[in-house]
C-alpha cells in the first residue's frame, strides 16, 4: 500500500472514529425515526457501489478541522462578475483531480453552488447546494493549497422575497487523490422548507453525479450509468456544521483489460478486500455489484469470469471461442452444407459449370474458324449448316 493510500486510510479511520463518537451522542438525544436509525453521523455507500460518503453532523471540532478560511489567505482569489461567461468561470488546476476514470485539469465554477465539467460532453457535477440558474447571488473565492482546490461561496442568497435576506456560507475541497469534501459553515434555514415554498429556487438533488457512457461489443452496446452519490435534502439534512466526505468505492469498471482488472482490489467490508473480475463475454471488469451487475448476469459472467491474472490469456481464448459459438457454428454449418452439396452433386456441378460451357465454347471457336476459312476462299456462306452449291 502506497504512502498516499495509507494517508487516506489513516485520515478516514480518524474521521470515522470521531464521527461515530459524535453519532453515539447525537442519536441518544434525538427521537426522530431516521436520525435514531442512522445516528447523527454515518458511513454509507451508493446503490451502485461507485461512491461512498462519510456524513458528519458536528458544529465543533470536525467542521473546524475541514473548514478553510480562504479570506485570510494571501494566495486566495475572488471571482468578479466580469470573469463569468455563460454563467461560469473556468479554473485550471495545477494537479490532476481524479474523478472515477477522468483526470480533470480544468473545472467550471458557478454562482449556483456547483463545480462542473468545462467540457459539455462530460456532464459530471459536484454540487454542495445546486440552485437553479439565475436564482442566486454570491461571492466566490478559491485557493490552491497542498494539492487541493478550495472553493468557497460566501454571502450566498436566493433571489426570493421571503428567503433572500438570509445568507449561506459553504465550501468544497477537491483533493488530488479524488476525495471531495463539503463543509457547511452557515445555513440559515431548512432547505426542504425552501423547496416547498420555492420549487424553482433549488434543484431536488445535490452531491456528486457522473453520467458515464459505457460501450459494449455485444448487446446492449451503449449504456449510460449514473455514477456518484446523489442526495436529497430530506434524507440528508444540510445545516451548519455538516461535513460530507466523498470517496470512490468499487472502481473495477475503470479497468480496461483482464490483467489490470484482476490486479485491482475493492473493499468488501472495513477489513476485507476482494479482487475485481473480468468477463470475456462483454470485455468488461466489474465488482459484480456495481452498475454492470445486470448485464453481468445476462451474459452469464457469474459463471464464466476471471479473478486471477495468470488465467487471463488462456481463459480469454477458450471462453471467447465458447462465447462466440453461435456465430462460429453458423459459419461451420454453412461450410459443411456446401461441402456435402458439392460431394453429392459433383457430376452435375461439373457438367453444368465446366463440361457444357467448355463444349459450347469449343463449338463456337470451331465455327468461327470455319467461317474465316470460307471467306479466304472467296465464298460467303450465310448458312453454315448448308453447303454452298456450285455449277459443275
Write the pLDDT tens digit of every residue in 120-148: 888 999 999 999 988 999 999 999 999 99
Domain check: are 70 and 130 in the same one?
Answer: yes
Residues 210 and 289 in one domain: no
**Model confidence at 15: pLDDT above 80:** no
- pLDDT at residue 336 tops 60: yes
In this structure, the answer to whether residues 200 and 267 fall within a common structural domain is no
Q: Are residues 10 and 155 in the same domain?
A: yes
Give 164 or 240, the one with higher predicted confidence: 240
Report if residue 317 sits inside a domain: yes
Q: Are residues 263 and 245 in the same domain?
A: no
The answer on 316 and 212 residing in a single domain is: no
More confident residue, 118 or 13: 118
Domain final residue, candidates 249, 283, 304: 249
Domain boundary residue, one of 293, 323, 353? 323
185-243 pLDDT tens trace: 999 999 999 999 888 899 999 999 999 998 888 877 889 999 999 999 999 999 999 99
Q: Once rounded to an integer, what is the mean pLDDT over residues 268-278?
A: 89
234, 281: one domain? no
Least confident of 107-111, 152-156, 222-226: 222-226
Residue 76 has pLDDT above 80, yes or no: yes
- Residue 360 forms part of a structural domain: no
**Does residue 236 sit within a domain?**
yes
Query: Within a domain: residue 387?
Result: no
Q: Flag whether 333 is in a domain.
A: no
pLDDT confidence of 110, banded at 50, 70, 90?
Answer: very high
For residues 159-177, average pLDDT: 92
Question: Would strands 51-57 and 284-286 be described as parallel, antiparallel, or unpaired?
Answer: unpaired
Give the count of domains, the chain: 2
Average pLDDT value for residue range 329-347: 67
Give yes or no: residues 238 and 281 share one domain.
no
What confidence category does residue 355 fall into, taking pLDDT thresholds of 50, 70 and 90? low
271 and 174, same domain (yes or no): no
Q: Which stretch of 60-74, 84-98, 149-163 has the lowest confidence by average pLDDT?
A: 60-74
Q: Please tell me the predicted confidence (pLDDT) of residue 379.
A: 47
| Domain co-membership, 223 together with 301 | no
Using the 3D structure, point to which of 249, 277, 309 is the last residue of a domain. Answer: 249
Residues spanned by the domain of 234: 3-249
Task: For residue 163, name the pLDDT band (cuts at 50, 70, 90).
Answer: confident
This prediction has a pTM of 0.73
The verdict on residue 376 lying in a domain is: no
Mean pLDDT of 241-269: 92
Mean pLDDT of 295-322: 77
Q: Which pLDDT band holds residue 288 (cuts at 50, 70, 90)?
A: very high
Claim to verify: residue 144 and residue 279 sit in the same structural domain = no
Same domain, residue pair 7 and 135: yes
Residue 206 lies in a domain: yes
Domain assignment present for residue 93? The answer is: yes
Amino acid at each position: 500500500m502506497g504512502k498516499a493510500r495509507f494517508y487516506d486510510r489513516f485520515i478516514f479511520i480518524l474521521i470515522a472514529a470521531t464521527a461515530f463518537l459524535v453519532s453515539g451522542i447525537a442519536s441518544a438525544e434525538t427521537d426522530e425515526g431516521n436520525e435514531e436509525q442512522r445516528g447523527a453521523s454515518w458511513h454509507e455507500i451508493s446503490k451502485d457501489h461507485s461512491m461512498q460518503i462519510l456524513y458528519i453532523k458536528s458544529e465543533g471540532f470536525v467542521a473546524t478541522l475541514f473548514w478553510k478560511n480562504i479570506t485570510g489567505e494571501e494566495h486566495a482569489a475572488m471571482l468578479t462578475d466580469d470573469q463569468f461567461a455563460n454563467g461560469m468561470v473556468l479554473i485550471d488546476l495545477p494537479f490532476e483531480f481524479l474523478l472515477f476514470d477522468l483526470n480533470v485539469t480544468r473545472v467550471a465554477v458557478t454562482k449556483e453552488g456547483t463545480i462542473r465539467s468545462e467540457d459539455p460532453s462530460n456532464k459530471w457535477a459536484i454540487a454542495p447546494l445546486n440552485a437553479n440558474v439565475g436564482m442566486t447571488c454570491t461571492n466566490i473565492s478559491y485557493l490552491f493549497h497542498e494539492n487541493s482546490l478550495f472553493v468557497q461561496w460566501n454571502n450566498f442568497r436566493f433571489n426570493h422575497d421571503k428567503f433572500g435576506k438570509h445568507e449561506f456560507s459553504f465550501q468544497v475541497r477537491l483533493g488530488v487523490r479524488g476525495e471531495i469534501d463539503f463543509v457547511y459553515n452557515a445555513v440559515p434555514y431548512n432547505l426542504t422548507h425552501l423547496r416547498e415554498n420555492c420549487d424553482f429556487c433549488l434543484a431536488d438533488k445535490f452531491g456528486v453525479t457522473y453520467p458515464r457512457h459505457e460501450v459494449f461489443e455485444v448487446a446492449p452496446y451503449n449504456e449510460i450509468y449514473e455514477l456518484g452519490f446523489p442526495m436529497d435534502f430530506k434524507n440528508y439534512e444540510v445545516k451548519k456544521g455538516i461535513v460530507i466526505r466523498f470517496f470512490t468505492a468499487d472502481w473495477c469498471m475503470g479497468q480496461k483489460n483482464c490483467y489490470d482488472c484482476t490486479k485491482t482490489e475493492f473493499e468488501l467490508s472495513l477489513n476485507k478486500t476482494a479482487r475485481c473480475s473480468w468477463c470475456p463475454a462483454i470485455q468488461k471488469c466489474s465488482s459484480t455489484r456495481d452498475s454492470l451487475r445486470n448485464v453481468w448476469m445476462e451474459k452469464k459472467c457469474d459463471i464464466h469470469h476471471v479473478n486471477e491474472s495468470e488465467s487471463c490469456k488462456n481463459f480469454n481464448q477458450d471462453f471467447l471461442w465458447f462465447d462466440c459459438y453461435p456465430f462460429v457454428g453458423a459459419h461451420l454449418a454453412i461450410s459443411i452444407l456446401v461441402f456435402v452439396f458439392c460431394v453429392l452433386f459433383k457430376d452435375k456441378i461439373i457438367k453444368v459449370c465446366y463440361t457444357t460451357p467448355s463444349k459450347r465454347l469449343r463449338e463456337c471457336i470451331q465455327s468461327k474458324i470455319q467461317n474465316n476459312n470460307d471467306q479466304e476462299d472467296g465464298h460467303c456462306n450465310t448458312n453454315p449448316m448448308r453447303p454452298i452449291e456450285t455449277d459443275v
